[in-house]
A and B are shown apart, each in its own frame.
Chain A
Amino acid sequence: MVSTSSTTGRGFEYAPAPESRAIVDIKPSYGLFIDGDFVDGHGSSFKTISPATEEVLAEVAEADDADVDAAVKAARKAQKAWARMPGSERAKYLYRIARIIQERSREIAVLESIDNGKPIKESRDVDVPIAAAHFFYYAGWADKLEYSGFGSTPLGVAGQVIPWNFPLLMLAWKIAPALACGNTVVLKPAETTPLTALLFAEICQQADLPPGVVNLITGAGGTGSALVSHPGIDKVAFTGSTDVGRIIAKAVAGTDKRVTLELGGKAANIVFDDAALDQAVEGIVNGIFFNQGHVCCAGSRLLVQENIFEDLLERLKRRMSTLRMGDPLDKNTDVGAINSGEQLMRIRELSEIGDAEGAERWEVACDLPTKGFWFPPTLFTGVSQAHRIAREEIFGPVLSVLTFRTPSEAVAKANNSPFGLSAGIWTEKGSRILQMASELRAGVVWANTFNKFDPTSPFGGYKESGYGREGGRHGLEAYLR
């Protein structure tokens, strides 16, 4: 593994190529964004830190129950006018937001990398452009709802809770379709990654979005719980762990609240002996090490056809050794920091369980910085379906490798999970791709590619990976009646 900052004097050493921090202006403290303005929160404020350096970035307000109530009321107050507005006018507000995201893209990307720990290359090339594209896409639906196939009446007020792995992108996935359909929202970003959401609030102001249409309340589990169980909301949208998803599903039982959940996964990435091998290796690496493995649809189980196991493993390890881990703001960094101390602990725990279960650990050799949260890209071989590291979501850069002999065995193993978010198939044979895709119990099937996202493409899971779809025409269903 190449540490971004190492210089041994041999060969082609990439000099540091830091993206400048000067473009962002992080305030010492932030309030809540309710009814078009920043206001103080009444809970106990908390700090957000940079996971790469552990420096404190800002103090963030915590919304208590009264704050949540105020936000929901603001959203309710704004909703009638927002829904009555012609779709073509709502569309233009969303186009403005999309444009401003494009205009301020560098600033947003740098802020995202600082707060989340992900490489600037990813926030710049993936998170921010796709977030802008989501707003563009759903802006275009606002005045075409009669063609959606799902009706054209909004639900009302949506309470939305998002995770820390793609802070701005998850915000875009939630807010864009909700607003396009005439709903107003109260959204809670994750407690470790509030900053791009707070910048988004500024963008709403720049776009002259009517007050109350978007409300952003920062906080932790308590705030989220208060929001989800507030009687004044019509819809709950949650992305996060399956455990919390279960709690939410129970909490809304017996109410009229509509709910969509996008939860965890343990996706199988299936490689056949006739795969385009070098591209399959890229797909495996992308599948589990993109975003440090903090991806619900990560290809965290590699299912490789037994007859190419040795060759594939060698290629995979060699490829993993060229990954560059280090400063998220260095443009050559491929793998950034783990988002928090808690998450790092969880990854370590589960990896130790993998050792204890008898799987064989291999990790890329590198020097880890002394400050910050770091975990080297790791793989376990000798893993079977019975191992915990084959069943439980690690949510980190850890790949469990299993083998299979036949297509039906691959499908059976892939499906043998309570999760069902995504799957990958690598083969040059078209009919096999289509047959396997039809048998895999997963909401997203990637063939000869992985971790591809597009605003037009519906995303969501089977089974305990949740229900409902985000993206595409199908993504409108969650916000209309």
Chain B
Amino acid sequence: MGTSALAATPFSDVTRSDATLRRFLEGLPGVDQVGAEARAASLSTRSIKTTAKAYAVDLAIRMVDLTTLEGQDTPGKVRTLCAKAVRPDPTDPSCPPTAAVCVYGDMVGIAKEALGDSGVKIAAVATAFPSGRAAMDIKIADTKDAVEAGADEIDMVIDRGAFLTGKYLQVFEEIAQVKEACGDAHLKVIMETGELQTYDNVRKASWLSMLAGGHFIKTSTGKVQPAATLPVTLIMLEAVRDYRDATGQMVGVKPAGGIKTTKDAIKYLVTVNEIAGEDWLDPDWFRFGASTLLNDLLMQRSKLATGHYSGPDYVTLD
């Protein structure tokens, strides 16, 4: 059990047993749905223009985990994705690359070759993504394969069935085991918030994932509706903020799925800024799991530079 990281924290005895862990998680402050959604809606009314918008667009591009997670993925598809991640806008070298690509574990080798020394990271989904319904040894093997193939980051899924039946310690231990299998790779923990349904559950799952050693907490696999939403991300940002206050340790946040437009992305960045604070405004601590978002960001970037609206013919397919 990965408690060494927790030894110095105020929470090392919380994970001693299922009972203590349950009491801790259920003792966290509740979330009022209407109030939380109202705050998210209010943050959405921020008007981000001109220089602020330019800053946000470039930051958002740098935060994208450019993603393809389809049954029909092939080496060809992964290679074009990587090319896009490294050079999102072939006509403009000042356009920054994305943070990472996100692929299935068996595509990591292809991606590693395609990305070379570009600095773009490789995130691999693992642990029987997206459902997480498999034996633990298979999930660990899945993780190790991806790490050995060169993944810098592992996006795992928690066992939602176990979570919803209150088996918190089991969920904790699984995350901790996957973290160990990651070695030096960073671990993102996907909570699949759409299946957890309540904000109280999102708060509990966030804390559980952080206590177990996740580097990032992530909303969704993108395969279940609803995927990422602004209120859910707000709750997660409150959790990482509170976790740092309690332990000194920062944890990152990644909303994934359903963020399609620059307007959406900017709302998320405003929320990061006003809830967790500017320390999280960095690709090391905040990512967007997205695919179509990138082209909208590029079109907005082009409009800011040229002054007129762009169109799909002027951004590349990945």
Contacts and interface: CB of A to CB of B under 8 A. Distances in A.
B48 A276 contact: no
B35 interface: yes
B38 A282 contact: yes
A274 B28 CA distance: 9
Contacts of A16: 49
B52 A282 contact: no
Interface string B66-108: 0000000000000000000000000000000000000000000
Given A121-B45, A276-B30, A12 B281 contact: yes
A12 B32 contact: no
Contact of B51 (A15, A121, A278): A15
B36 A278 contact: yes
Interface string B202-216: 000000000000000
Interface in B35-73: 35-36, 38-39, 45-53, 55-56, 59
A277 B39 CA distance: 13
B30 A14 contact: no
A355 interface: no
Given A12-B269, A14-B46, A331-B47, A278 B278 contact: no
A276 B45 contact: no
Contacts, number: 69
Contacts of A331: 45-47
A454 interface: no
A278 B31 contact: yes
Interface string B249-279: 0000000000000000000011001100010
Does more than half of chain A's interface fall in helix, strand or loop, or is it mixed? Answer: loop
A10 B277 CA distance: 12
B269 A275 contact: no
A274 B30 CA distance: 8
Given A12-B273, A282-B38, A276 B29 contact: yes
A14 B45 contact: no
B29 A275 contact: yes
A283 interface: yes
Nearest to B50: A15
Given A15-B52, A15-B53, A279-B36, A428 B45 contact: no
Nearest to B51: A15
Contacts of B38: 282
Interface string A399-428: 000000000000000000000000000001
Nearest to B41: A125
11 contacts: A12-B55, A12-B278, A125-B45, A274-B30, A276-B31, A277-B29, A278-B238, A282-B35, A282-B39, A332-B46, A449-B34
Closest 7 pairs (CB-CB, A-B):
A279-B35, A11-B278, A17-B47, A331-B47, A15-B52, A277-B29, A279-B32
Interface of A: 10-17, 121, 125, 274-279, 282-283, 322, 331-332, 428, 448-449
